[in-house]
Amino acid sequence: MSIRTQTATGSRRVRVVCPHNCYDTCSQIATVENGILRRIDGDPEHSHTRGRLCAKGYSYVDRVYARDRVRHPMIQEPRRSGHWRRISWEEALGRIALKLIGMKDRYGSLLPLCLYQGSGNMGLLHEATRVLFNSMGPITESVNNLCWTTGRNATRFDFGAVRNSDPAELQQAETVLLWGVNPAWTAPHQMGHLLDMRDRGVRLITVDPVGTATASLSDMHLPVRPGTDCALALGMARHLRETGQIDQAFVEGHTLGWESFLQYLDSAVTVEWAAAETGLLPGQIRQVADQYARGRPAAIWLGHGLQRYGNSGQAVRAINALGALTGQIGQPGAGVHYAHRETWILKEGLQPDDDWPGNRTVAAGDLVGGLRALSDPPVRMLWIARANPLVQAPGSEGFRRLLASMEMVVVVDPFMTATAAQADLVLPATTYLEQHDLNVSYWHHDLALNTRAIDPLFEARSELAIAQALGREVNRIRESFATFPTEGDEQAWLERAWTPAARTLFQVDSPTDLQGGPRRAGLPRVAWQDLRFATPSGRYEFSSEQAVAAGAPALPVYAPPAAPPVGFPLRLLTPHGAESINSQFPGQPPVVELHPETAAALGVAEGEEARLASPSGALHLPVRLTRTVPPDCAVVLGGHMSQINLLTQPRPSDMADTDGLRGLAYADTFIAITPVGG
């Protein structure tokens, strides 16, 4: 059903897609009256979201017309003075073009330019900036991200690729283990399905150090000590071994290294040891293992929170092993689900066919350290798009100094973020409602078309339009500086991305065919149903040579979590809230959640301001008391108002991929809390 119709009242309904870094990636219906966005609704044609949005999606009218929208290109002079001046697009792009050309003249390449892109808008056409710069030659580029790398690396070693079943398949489960994930707040549509399953008698078990909303509504909550998830999984595996609940036919037929893994379990693991490590009771570990092995089919959902410790790669591998030991891989309603990348193929259509230059790469997780190590040539200019790293990246103070050390910082954003406030030039970007785009999810398997609902506000431009204008400007100053195609509107670019591979995967001839609603990719509904794994052996690998090559043990083995340093006794956990996504959306005012006994010992009370300090920095937050937080932890929801990354540092996690990239151990941050003025 095409909804782009004119109604009797003169309002127009346009199908758009929420582009944020979120499981649900909702197709939406925007209602527009006389060019003004009036409301946002869910899309009944989107089966995963069933016509509903979340607290963020429903607030988009406020968001589009928010006072902190950047209206015009702005320049800050003197640098970081807070003195901003409106300039024209021509002047802004002229200054940038001269800088780019000057750098290339000075250094013989554009490697002194570093492009840093985040996940603030995951729409396809935001790739245009990268394509523009690469049409001028190799640049320095941040790769990897702050989010999912450890879990991705671990899952690749085991399965060979990161795939999940269509989320609808989860509904066939009889048991669901929600391991380090809080869908009640971060994937509310999936939570609706899960509670419907609970009504039918499906057992929901949540493993989380914090008594989250999801844990509170589950049949069982295992409050595992932070960073000991691996010990829990190994203890469960040992119990399955002792009680003859290993699927011998599966491990013999489809896995590699199961004998050595079982030997490790026999020699190094007992349920009682696992109980001591995790802070759980031996009976709880046996109970959850029995439920997982007997309550078939049983699915595991691995959250991102689980893989933010320094030993998380091993935890993810140990949990994956539970699926393989019980043969619960490749079956409807079973499997271990983390994320997938199977539908993220469209940007290949935007890249130049030949001569794609080799960029110099630096890990996004430690941009400060990475750029410091580059001297030939050094990086002199940062271009930051759809990202707010001053708030999101670990070590805010180091990042602030990095920005100050650049000759030029350009931020492209719809909003005057904390990072934008440190820039030299801020270019106003459109929100998704002001441009055309295509979006996919890392959870469901749908592709959806985002149709422009309203004209760009003020002087905002899409990243494609910005890239095209900058391409024209550099070529005006110096002929053929950029080979980037500066013609073609957004819709023409979406057609360009429509490669034969996309046509085959989505069974759609053209993006315009998606006007009637999202389209599910032609992927197997059940991940690994053919049991042909993408590993070197073609089997599920309990023992991985690739892990060894990347510097990790071959088997999933336990390493204890980091211990608090002297003077900083509390582990800081920064899970996601329901009303913000990373640094986007205002959300509720930040608080620090503490166990009442911890607060009493520290001399801080409910509602009072407390000082949170780490070796990296300090900040003040009001205290909220809750027994759902472990006594040795402090919990602050991520979000732009808490500035919590003043306290963190870029600590790598344990498991590099074969490309050397590691995830971040945000959860290995330890802090001290004292009363303000005390």
Partner 1 sequence: MIALRYAFLHDARRCTGCRTCAAACRNQHRLEPGLTLREVYAYREEPTDPRRHFLSVACHHCAEPECVRVCPTGAQFKRADGLVIQNHDQCLGCRLCMIACPYGSPRYSARERKVVKCDLCVDRLEAGREPACVEACHTRALRLIDLDTYTGDWVAPNVPGFPARAFTDPSIRFVVPKNAPTAR
Nearer to partner 1, 5 or 216 (CB): 216
Nearer to partner 1, 191 or 236 (CB): 191
Minimum distance from residue 146 beta carbon to partner 1 (Å)? 24
Minimum distance from residue 54 beta carbon to partner 1 (Å)? 5
The interface mask with partner 1, positions 46-85, x = CB under 8 A, is -----xxxxxxxxx-xx---x-------------------
- SS3 state at 592: strand
Q: How are beta strands 336-337 and 298-302 bridged, if at all?
A: parallel
Applying CB under 8 A, the site for partner 1 has a residue count of 36
Q: How are beta strands 175-179 and 298-302 bridged, if at all?
A: parallel
Nearer to partner 1, 188 or 414 (CB): 188
Residue 627 burial (CB < 10 Å; 0-12/13-18/19+)?
exposed
Q: Which stretch binds partner 1 (CB under 8 A): 33-41, 158-166, 379-387, 457-465?
A: 33-41
The pair of three-digit structure tokens given for residue 32, joined into one six-digit string? 């527009």
From the list 177, 152, 530, 526, the residue with the least C-alpha distance to 317 is: 152
Among 143, 168, 217, 641, binds partner 1 (CB under 8 A): 217
At 614, the amino acid letter reads S
Nearer to partner 1, 50 or 372 (CB): 50
Residue 550: strand pairing partners:
none
Residue 573: strand pairing partners:
635
CA distances from 229 to 148, 216, 277, 292, 311 (A): 17, 19, 9, 16, 9
The interface mask with partner 1, positions 363-402, x = CB under 8 A, is ----------------------------------------
Residues 407/426, Cβ–Cβ less than 8 Å = no
Minimum distance from residue 63 beta carbon to partner 1 (Å)? 10
Minimum distance from residue 171 beta carbon to partner 1 (Å)? 15
The interface mask with partner 1, positions 522-561, x = CB under 8 A, is ----------------------------------------
Q: How are beta strands 175-179 and 203-207 bridged, if at all?
A: parallel
512 near partner 1 (CB under 8 A): no
Minimum distance from residue 594 beta carbon to partner 1 (Å)? 13
Phi, psi of 397 (to 5 degrees): -65, -40
Residue 542: strand pairing partners:
none
| Whole-number Å distance between alpha carbons of 560 and 675 | 31
Minimum distance from residue 277 beta carbon to partner 1 (Å)? 23
Q: Which stretch binds partner 1 (CB under 8 A): 110-118, 215-223, 228-236, 640-648?
A: 215-223
Q: What is the DSSP string of 330-353?
A: SSTT-SEE----TT--GGGGGS-S
The pair of three-digit structure tokens given for residue 256, joined into one six-digit string? 């590699």
168 near partner 1 (CB under 8 A): no
- SS3 state at 619: strand
| Whole-number Å distance between alpha carbons of 294 and 436 | 48
The pair of three-digit structure tokens given for residue 203, joined into one six-digit string? 């057992």
Minimum distance from residue 309 beta carbon to partner 1 (Å)? 23
Report 626-665 residues binding partner 1 (CB under 8 A).
626-628
Q: Which stretch binds partner 1 (CB under 8 A): 72-80, 315-323, 391-399, 620-628?
A: 620-628
Nearer to partner 1, 56 or 239 (CB): 56
Q: Which stretch binds partner 1 (CB under 8 A): 135-143, 212-220, 380-388, 467-475?
A: 212-220
Residues 439/23, Cβ–Cβ less than 8 Å = no
38 near partner 1 (CB under 8 A): yes
Nearer to partner 1, 233 or 625 (CB): 625
Phi, psi of 673 (to 5 degrees): -125, 130
Minimum distance from residue 254 beta carbon to partner 1 (Å)? 37
| Whole-number Å distance between alpha carbons of 100 and 110 | 7
| Whole-number Å distance between alpha carbons of 11 and 5 | 9
The interface mask with partner 1, positions 315-354, x = CB under 8 A, is ----------------------------------------
Q: How are beta strands 609-614 and 617-625 bridged, if at all?
A: antiparallel
Q: Which stretch binds partner 1 (CB under 8 A): 350-358, 369-377, 621-629, 642-650?
A: 621-629
| Whole-number Å distance between alpha carbons of 296 and 476 | 66
Report 84-113 residues binding partner 1 (CB under 8 A).
none
Phi, psi of 342 (to 5 degrees): -70, -25
Report 573-592 residues binding partner 1 (CB under 8 A).
578-579
7 near partner 1 (CB under 8 A): no
Nearer to partner 1, 49 or 121 (CB): 49
Nearer to partner 1, 217 or 508 (CB): 217
| Whole-number Å distance between alpha carbons of 614 and 396 | 12
Nearer to partner 1, 62 or 609 (CB): 62
Minimum distance from residue 81 beta carbon to partner 1 (Å)? 29
Residues 491/510, Cβ–Cβ less than 8 Å = no
Nearer to partner 1, 191 or 346 (CB): 191
Name 601's Cβ contacts closer than 8 Å, sequence gap at least 6. Answer: none
Minimum distance from residue 471 beta carbon to partner 1 (Å)? 37
| Whole-number Å distance between alpha carbons of 403 and 371 | 11
216 near partner 1 (CB under 8 A): yes
| Whole-number Å distance between alpha carbons of 429 and 435 | 10
Residues 68/583, Cβ–Cβ less than 8 Å = no
| Whole-number Å distance between alpha carbons of 520 and 337 | 18
CB count in 10 Å sphere of residue 677: 7
Among 213, 523, 618, 641, binds partner 1 (CB under 8 A): 213
Nearer to partner 1, 192 or 569 (CB): 192
Report 190-209 residues binding partner 1 (CB under 8 A).
191-192, 195
Minimum distance from residue 645 beta carbon to partner 1 (Å)? 24
Q: Which residues bind partner 1 (CB under 8 A)?
A: 38-42, 51-59, 61-62, 66, 184-185, 188-189, 191-192, 195, 211-217, 578-579, 626-628
